Amino acid sequence: MAMGDIFEATALMLDVQFGQATDFGKVRTNNEDAMGSFIPSSRQQARSHGYLFAVADGVGGLDLGEVASSRAISVLTEGFANAQADTMLISLLPRLIQHANAAVHDCSLVREYRGRKMATTMVACALRYDQAIVSHVGDSRFYLVRNGKARLVTEDHTLVNQQRKLGLISSVDVAEAETRHVLIRSLGPEMFVSPDTTAITLQAGDTLVLCTDGMHDQMSEALIAEIVSQKKTMNEIARELVARAVDIDGGDNTTAQVIRIRSLEQIGMYRGRPYRLPS
């Protein structure tokens, strides 16, 4: 098992603990999952840029899933680090995901990879002040764990989920459908992609989970909440989430990032500029 280092970053506005883990699983000999983050190096950078966390899952069955996922994460994190200070995250994040999509699409056109298809999912979360901006394409997921309960924030871009919304298949049948991993949206196949983007107001004590389908396919929201709510480090929790999913099945690469919000500062917005709310 390959595991990420735990990071702890404290800023005036936000106090965050972070851990991550990934595993090849019991069947795969390579890991098509990728993950990345941007941790601000100062209080000033925490205010001007914020934090970024992201997970991508290269599409299995295509030629270069691991190239697609790693390229997407690289473009996203570099773009976030180099973004203009104080850029609105709710517009920045989907724009960077579009840049990542274009980069993956262009990879398939270069001489080295020409004629070889590649695609990846992506879920990304940017944090600043008391806000989380979540943007995603595909079926990698984001969960918010609050007061001991997990809530799925993202909505899978899969054929069966589309059929469920149209009333063609029941929620019970989705988990067993043979087409449950068929994506209707991913990074790479087309020149342009439309990510779904959501804003969440955070609370102290919230825990955020980003993961690939190798994890969420095997675990209920109740089990995720149970593991995440333990009094352990974020790295230990990420390792346990991944290990439990691999133990249950292990047929796919499995990746999780876990972020705990220890404290934050509430802010208001006036003409696009943040200001501190009176305590």
pLDDT at 193: 96
14-63 pLDDT, tens digit per residue, is 889 999 999 998 988 889 999 999 999 998 899 899 999 999 999 976 56
The CATH number given to whatever domain includes residue 200 is: 3.60.40.10
**157: nearest Cα among 176, 172, 127, 135:** 135
List CB contacts of 37: < 8 A, sequence separation 6 or more.
Answer: 7, 18, 20, 51, 52, 53, 54, 77, 257
The CA distance from 110 to 107, in Å, is 6
Task: Return the axis-axis angle of helices 65-81 and 89-107, rounded to nearest 10°.
Answer: 140
The CA distance from 93 to 132, in Å, is 11
Query: Quick check: 4 pLDDT over 50?
Result: no
- Confidence class for position 270, pLDDT limits 50, 70, 90: low
Dihedrals phi, psi of 8, to nearest 5 degrees: -135, 120
Six token digits for residue 54: 């992201």
Q: Which residue has the higher pLDDT, 269 or 212?
A: 212
Six token digits for residue 159: 């054929």
The CA distance from 105 to 256, in Å, is 25
List CB contacts of 226: < 8 A, sequence separation 6 or more.
Answer: none
- Confidence class for position 76, pLDDT limits 50, 70, 90: very high
Among the residues of the chain, which ranges form H helices? 43-48, 65-81, 89-107, 159-165, 171-174, 213-216, 221-228, 234-248
Q: Which range marks the domain in which residue 208 is found?
A: 2-276
pLDDT at 240: 98
Q: How far is CA 199 from CA 125, 128, 129, 202, 228, in A?
A: 10, 11, 12, 9, 22
Query: Quick check: 102 pLDDT over 90?
Result: yes
Dihedrals phi, psi of 119, to nearest 5 degrees: -160, 160
- Confidence class for position 272, pLDDT limits 50, 70, 90: low
Quick one: what percent of the chain has pLDDT higher than 70? 86
- The tally of domains found in the chain comes to 1
242-265 pLDDT, tens digit per residue, is 999 999 998 899 999 999 999 887
**256: nearest Cα among 226, 215, 220, 211:** 211
128-187 pLDDT, tens digit per residue, is 999 999 999 999 999 999 999 999 999 999 988 888 778 777 776 766 776 777 899 999
Six token digits for residue 133: 């901006």
Stated pTM of the model: 0.89
29 with 92: CB under 8 angstroms? no
Six token digits for residue 100: 């990542």
